[in-house]
């Protein structure tokens, strides 16, 4: 796509937003879907209780099941670009990195805890240290997606530094039989064929009390990037599903048991090397990021009349993956490539939460709870080799170390979080509510290596085996407070202050560089960091709900920042606490139904965030004035859908959705000293569909990336294959049957 075309699309979106009205009812998508158009509201649990989306006094986006289906959303990538304040980078499949309101230090993940917590139902699914995967649940039969913008440390704990993303699955329904199936077939420019198959059945086992819901899906998607060295492509095969059993023996008691499994098996990575030609890559080994996830949950709800509802949620999760990575020819052109081949890379989580939520009609509403999570990751053979290294060194230097191994160790990381929290709101006078909450927590983190063996590239001899361990712990509090005024159902204004945090941990690659001892010396550990978010907002509804406009302005103060750096000489990652940063911005949302059948939405995000100060006692890979990585100063999205009756019980529809994301830094510039710094391209996307929606189901023809946008959305200059682009234009047909 040419720069001129990008500018034209941007102008279209800007003009559309201006004409339609800027900014939406807590969520543009909610009003754009047919269900909302009929007057139904989306109910969310952002405050751990059921509330109408428009009644939540904070910046929350919720995407309904109907909107997910109408737009063919299938993964994180399907919704991230249309949510204000949210950007997502994915250097490799199954490792998305979210950025909410610019709070991020890395675009590809790293050894810090991610700044955005990802939940499936009530369970956080991301690791805290060296997370190489971010589980990306397929979005079939999902009730809604919630994106909570701004720190959520009080109710959602560590990792909610910038916000929280929640995937809420549909529950079994004992009142009716349901079944659905979907087939999605598409062809990408260049000939790559995509197949997606989904099925769901909901069976009442005992009338009104017991039901079983089973969901299954399969994906076989050919890739568009070819590895010219190995002959592989970025093909992927995913399969998985959910089985849930829900028992409601009385109005007071509900018990739900659910198992979620997903197996994602890419053949190779998406990134490519422009020196080899468009969509071509070369690596010594394939670089997929496999993900095998199994999540077991038991949730019990008991309602005490005229008091509160008690929820006990217990979760056990297993995650299996591998780190397969070509690090390039570290000894210079023409020398063997150093490859990471750490397989398996296994983690497990145990999560327990007890929560008591008031359920009386009273001016005082409250939530109290206790939370515990225990995470552990085991890498029995963290291995970096350079196939052919021994022969190369013998032929070139007359030295034979006896192996192609460069680095070999056994790694175990663990972390725990134990917390208690309380949150409440009190209606002082009609419509005026004071809110406040606090979370007290203790976190621990440990790192253990056994028998680390490293080849000294100065002497070409192996150092003596090294074993070590490190442990960190901290006790702290997060809090939030706010005031809101709702004059009627059509107007709410609010002011909030909230705090988020990440746990402090240890550096595995501490010490000096074996290649260049004068390079940066990696410190032993790093401390927790935290954000405080100041937010003013308004949620409004006009013309009897035909137009909704939302506006939120924010300022974030980020202290003791954990910066994820990369030492250039040996490409070892590290973390350092690097001072302070601030982010400020405005988010604007709109949804409108000007005439029957016509639904419009638009969102605008304007923001900026920079490093304000760095410490003077250590060297860090950032400098004052550096823009935060991944922060898009402008982000726009919008869409239009028109529906018309076809016969007595069917509707035809046509819709188009567009997004624009401004250019973003790929890392900290470090005042021009970072040789790996680059600016990711701005990009625009357009998706469209036409279809028929009837009682038996839906059939639609669709186009994704209609303009075939090929901007470089991620530049990872530390990789031999540094460019990531969107999937080229894909045309397809989607058929859904339901009963």
CA separation for the pair 595, 716 (Å, rounded): 47
pLDDT in tens, 441-487: 999 988 999 889 999 888 899 989 989 888 888 888 999 999 999 98
Residue 39: pLDDT band by 50, 70, 90 thresholds? very low
Report the percentage of the chain scoring pLDDT > 90: 78
Mean pLDDT of 228-233: 97
**Residue 8 reports pLDDT greater than 50:** no
Q: Which residues have C-beta within 8 Å of that of residue 432, sequence separation ≥ 6?
A: 483, 484, 485
Which one, of 673, 696, 697, 686, lies nearest residue 730 by Cα? 686
pLDDT in tens, 508-533: 777 888 888 888 888 777 888 999 99
pLDDT in tens, 542-590: 998 899 999 999 999 999 999 877 777 887 778 888 899 999 999 999 9
Mean pLDDT of 218-233: 98
Which one, of 393, 383, 283, lies nearest residue 335 by Cα? 393
CA separation for the pair 710, 725 (Å, rounded): 6
CB distance 476 to 420 below 8 Å: no
Question: What value does the mean pLDDT of the chain take?
Answer: 91
**Residue 178 reports pLDDT greater than 50:** yes
Mean pLDDT of 284-289: 95
Which one, of 445, 464, 444, 446, lies nearest residue 454 by Cα? 464
CA separation for the pair 42, 51 (Å, rounded): 8
**Cα torsion 499, 506, 108, 516: sign:** positive
CA separation for the pair 116, 152 (Å, rounded): 9
Which one, of 322, 364, 366, lies nearest residue 343 by Cα? 322
The pLDDT value recorded for residue 672 is 93
pLDDT in tens, 661-713: 999 999 999 999 999 999 999 999 999 999 999 999 999 999 999 999 999 99
Cis check for the bond before 344: say yes or no (omega within 30 of 0).
Answer: yes
The pLDDT value recorded for residue 143 is 96
Look-up: residue for tokens 């053979």? 381
The pLDDT value recorded for residue 9 is 35
Mean pLDDT of 348-356: 97
Residue 40: pLDDT band by 50, 70, 90 thresholds? low
pLDDT in tens, 716-737: 998 999 999 999 999 999 999 9
Three-class DSSP category at 104: coil
Tokens coding 574:
């590290």
Tokens coding 49:
């209780």
CA separation for the pair 98, 309 (Å, rounded): 33
CB distance 57 to 480 below 8 Å: no
pLDDT in tens, 580-621: 999 999 999 999 999 999 999 999 999 999 999 998 877 788
Burial of 422 (0-12, 13-18, 19+ CB in 10 A): middle
Q: How far, CA to CA in Å, does 399 sit from each of 336, 392, 544, 562, 681?
A: 15, 9, 81, 41, 46
The pLDDT value recorded for residue 12 is 34
**First CA to last CA distance, the chain:** 42
Three-class DSSP category at 418: strand
Tokens coding 243:
């089985």
The pLDDT value recorded for residue 471 is 84
**Residue 6 reports pLDDT greater than 50:** no
Lowest mean pLDDT among 39-53, 308-322, 387-401, 471-485: 39-53
Look-up: residue for tokens 């490093």? 611
CB distance 496 to 532 below 8 Å: no
DSSP letters, 640-688, are: EEEEEE-SSS-EEEEEEEEEEE--EESS--GGGT-TT--EEPPEEEEEE
Between vectors from CA 525 to CA 115 and to CA 581, what angle results, nearest 5°?
Answer: 40
Buried b (16+ CB within 10 A) or exposed e, 490-516: eebbbebbbbbbbbbbbbbebeebbbe
Total residues belonging to the chain:
739
CA separation for the pair 169, 182 (Å, rounded): 17
DSSP letters, 552-603, are: EEEEEEEES-EEEEEETTTTEEEEEE--EEEEEEEEEEEEE--STTEEEEEE
pLDDT in tens, 82-132: 999 999 999 899 999 999 999 999 998 878 899 999 999 988 998 888 789
Q: What is the DSSP letter of 627?
A: B
């Amino acid at each position: 796509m040419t720069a001129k075309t990008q500018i034209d699309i941007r102008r279209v979106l800007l003009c559309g937003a201006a004409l339609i009205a800027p900014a939406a009812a807590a969520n543009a998508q909610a009003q754009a879907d047919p269900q909302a158009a009929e007057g139904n509201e989306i109910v969310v649990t952002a405050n751990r209780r059921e509330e109408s989306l428009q009644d939540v006094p904070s910046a929350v986006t919720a995407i309904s099941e109907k909107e997910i289906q109408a737009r063919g959303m299938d993964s994180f990538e399907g919704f991230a670009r249309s949510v204000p304040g949210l950007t997502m980078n994915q250097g490799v499949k199954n490792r998305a990195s979210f950025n909410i309101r610019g709070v991020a230090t890395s675009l590809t993940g790293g050894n810090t805890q991610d700044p955005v917590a990802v939940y499936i139902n009530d369970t956080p699914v991301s690791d805290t240290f060296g997370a190489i995967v971010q589980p990306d649940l397929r979005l079939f039969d999902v009730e809604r997606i919630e994106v909570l913008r701004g720190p959520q440390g009080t109710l959602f704990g560590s990792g909610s530094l910038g916000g929280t993303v929640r995937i809420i699955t549909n529950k079994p329904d004992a009142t009716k039989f349901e079944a659905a199936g979907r087939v999605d077939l598409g062809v990408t420019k260049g000939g790559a064929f995509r197949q997606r198959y989904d099925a769901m059945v909901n069976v009442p086992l005992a009338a009104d009390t017991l039901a079983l819901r089973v969901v299954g899906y399969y994906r076989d998607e050919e890739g568009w990037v070819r590895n010219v060295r190995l002959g592989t492509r970025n093909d992927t095969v995913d399969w998985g599903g959910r089985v849930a059993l829900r028992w409601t023996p009385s109005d007071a008691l509900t018990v739900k048991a659910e198992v979620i499994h997903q197996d994602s098996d890419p053949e190779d990575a998406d990134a490519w090397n422009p020196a080899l030609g468009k969509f071509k890559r070369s690596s010594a080994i394939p670089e997929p990021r496999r993900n095998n996830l199994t999540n077991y949950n038991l949730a019990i709800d008991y309602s005490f009349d005229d008091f509160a509802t008690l929820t006990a949620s217990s979760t056990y999760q297993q995650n299996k993956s591998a780190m397969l990575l070509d690090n390039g020819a570290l000894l210079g052109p023409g020398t063997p490539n150093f490859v990471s081949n750490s397989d398996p890379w296994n983690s497990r989580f145990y999560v327990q939460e007890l929560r008591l939520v008031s359920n009386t009609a009273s001016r005082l509403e409250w939530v109290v709870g206790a939370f515990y999570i225990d995470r552990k990751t085991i890498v029995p053979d963290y291995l970096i080799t350079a196939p052919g290294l021994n022969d190369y060194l013998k032929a070139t230097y007359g030295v034979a170390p006896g192996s192609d191994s460069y680095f070999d160790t056994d790694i175990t990381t663990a972390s725990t979080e134990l917390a208690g929290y309380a949150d409440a709101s009190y209606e002082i006078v009609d419509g005026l509510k004071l809110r406040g909450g606090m979370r007290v927590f203790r976190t621990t983190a440990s790192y253990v290596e056994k028998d680390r063996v490293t080849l000294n590239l100065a002497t070409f001899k192996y150092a003596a085996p090294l074993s070590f361990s490190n442990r960190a712990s901290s006790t702290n509090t997060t809090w939030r407070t706010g005031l809101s005024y709702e004059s009627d159902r059509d107007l709410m204004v609010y002011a909030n202050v909230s705090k988020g945090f990440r746990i402090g941990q240890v550096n595995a690659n501490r010490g000096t560089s074996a290649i260049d001892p004068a390079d940066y010396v990696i410190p032993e550990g790093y401390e927790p960091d935290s954000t405080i978010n100041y937010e003013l907002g308004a949620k409004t509804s006009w013309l009897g709900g035909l137009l909704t406009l939302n506006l939120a302005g924010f300022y974030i103060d980020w202290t003791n920042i954990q910066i994820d750096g990369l030492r250039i000489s040996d490409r070892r990652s590290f973390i350092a606490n690097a001072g302070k940063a601030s982010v400020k911005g405005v988010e604007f949302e709109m949804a409108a139904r000007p005439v029957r059948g016509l639904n419009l939405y638009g969102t605008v995000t304007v923001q900026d965030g920079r490093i304000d100060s760095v410490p003077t006692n250590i060297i860090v890979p950032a400098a004052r004035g550096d823009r935060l990585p991944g922060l898009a100063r402008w982000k726009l999205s919008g869409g239009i859908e028109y529906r018309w009756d076809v016969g007595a019980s069917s509707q035809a529809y046509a819709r188009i959705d567009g997004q624009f994301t401004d250019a973003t830094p790929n890392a900290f510039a470090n005042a021009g000293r970072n040789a790996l710094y680059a600016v990711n391209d701005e990009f625009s996307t357009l998706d469209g569909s036409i279809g028929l929606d009837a009682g038996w189901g839906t059939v639609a023809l669709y186009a994704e990336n209609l303009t075939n946008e090929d901007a470089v959305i991620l530049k990872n200059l530390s990789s031999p294959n540094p460019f990531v682009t969107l999937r080229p234009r894909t045309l397809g047909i989607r058929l859904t049957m339901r009963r």
